[in-house]
Amino acid sequence: MAAIGKFLKWLLLMMVYVFLAILRSGPVQTWTLDDFEDGDLKSASGLSWIVIADDLGGGATEAGLEVVPAATDAGSKRALRLAGRLGGGAGSFAGAWATLERTGRNLDLSAFEGVRLRVKGPARLDVGFRSGVVNFMARVEAGPDWKLVEIPFSTLKPSSRNIPDGTRWDASALQVFGVTTPQMPASDDRTTGELSFELDDVMFYADRSSRVEPVASGPSTGLTVVPFTTFADIPSTGWIDLGPDPERDGKIPSLPDATRLEMIASAPGDVLWAKVTLRESPHDRWIGMNLALDTDGDPANGFAWWGANTAFKFDQLVTVWCFRVADGCQGYVGVADAAQVAARTLVAGGGEKLRIAIDRDQRAFIVGVPRDLLKLTGKEIRLVAAVGSALLFGDDVPGQGAATIR
């Protein structure tokens, strides 16, 4: 009888396991961020995948993205490849990131349980999301062959420096998805040398019988894509030299270093043009430039500039922090006034009207701003220009006081 009792308990336990397995194997709904079969770098948001690497902070890593032929076990014909060279040092990393919503709003993925994708290395990779100022990531090992990985959201952990107190995972407030070599490498992580990894069929999954979709929420953050201006459309004459800036006086020595500011107060189309010459040839895959402008004739009001020139106060801020993609420069591009900046809105609109160029021959960043965006009320414009990467401020010109143009 005892043997029969044990058998019945075992049989009951096995029936429970089978029942749970049936539940688990029920309908699974997925939403695809990108399968790369269309051959371009645009994800479901309509925005392009971009490289985030340590060069944005002054590092030496160089990396690029391309869609390549790839035969996975799922029958896929194309995949995304990141290839380049890690620059060395404990802070070297490179990854492929895709913004989840077209204008930078939050995407609510709380109806989903996790992310599923295929990876191919060899590389040790972190996979996860950017939410606010914190990355939530999970570690995966990518081998020489395609590997399907499934990452439940419950396994994602904060993986950023200076994590704010009380930080927790919130699937309803996500902005960017990424696959990257570790941004906070362990002692045995490789941080130098040639790098290449591939990913494919990136999707979010949910055990649901009915179809589920991500939901966008919150205001736009000013994320947009602005076409680059051709050099033929930039004035070749009329530039006013507003003075030099000392070399190697920037916040981060290996980021763009401003050496001269030139402007045209009003060119055809009533556009104000600014050109900042750099000490080095600019990086071609991103641009970082600001114009902080005192436009009301009162130097005592406005918002205090946060660069080296902290005594300067501005009424209007022009921001061009963006990455080169197939159809222009993708990132935070536009104008905001002092009150909006004080409320932490650095881009409030107008990005589609700005002119942007990276002139490697002249070692310059160039930005054109229609004057009707600037709410001019004074007789002259006082300004400070700043350069950096598409992620960090580097150097401003002039370093003290302000340039003046009428």
CATH number of the domain residue 100 falls in: 2.60.120.430
pLDDT of residue 6: 46
211 and 280 share a domain? no
Q: Which two tokens stand for residue 148?
A: 């399907």
167 and 250 share a domain? no
The model's confidence at residue 164, banded by pLDDT at 50, 70 and 90, is confident
> pLDDT tens for residues 281-329?
998 899 999 999 999 999 999 999 999 889 999 999 999 999 999 999 9
pTM (two decimals):
0.90
Task: Summarize the confidence of residues 132-148 as an average pLDDT.
Answer: 95
Q: Is residue 377 part of a domain?
A: yes
Q: Is residue 5 part of a domain?
A: no
pLDDT of residue 36: 97
Q: Is residue 2 part of a domain?
A: no
More confident residue, 399 or 198: 198
* Domain count within the chain: 2
> pLDDT tens for residues 224-250?
999 999 999 999 999 999 999 999 999
| Residue at a domain's end among 174, 204, 220 | 220
The model's confidence at residue 185, banded by pLDDT at 50, 70 and 90, is confident
Length of the chain: 406
For residue 158, the enclosing domain spans 27-220
| Residue at a domain's end among 220, 239, 273 | 220
172 and 248 share a domain? no
pLDDT of residue 189: 81
211 and 243 share a domain? no
The model's confidence at residue 27, banded by pLDDT at 50, 70 and 90, is low
Task: Summarize the confidence of residues 49-61 as an average pLDDT.
Answer: 96
CB 42 within 8 A of CB 48: yes
Query: Is the pLDDT confidence value at 201 over 60?
Result: yes
38 and 179 share a domain? yes
Q: What is the domain-level CATH number for residue 381?
A: 2.60.40
392 and 252 share a domain? yes
Query: Is the pLDDT confidence value at 213 over 80?
Result: yes
258 and 215 share a domain? no
Q: Is residue 3 part of a domain?
A: no
Q: Is residue 13 part of a domain?
A: no
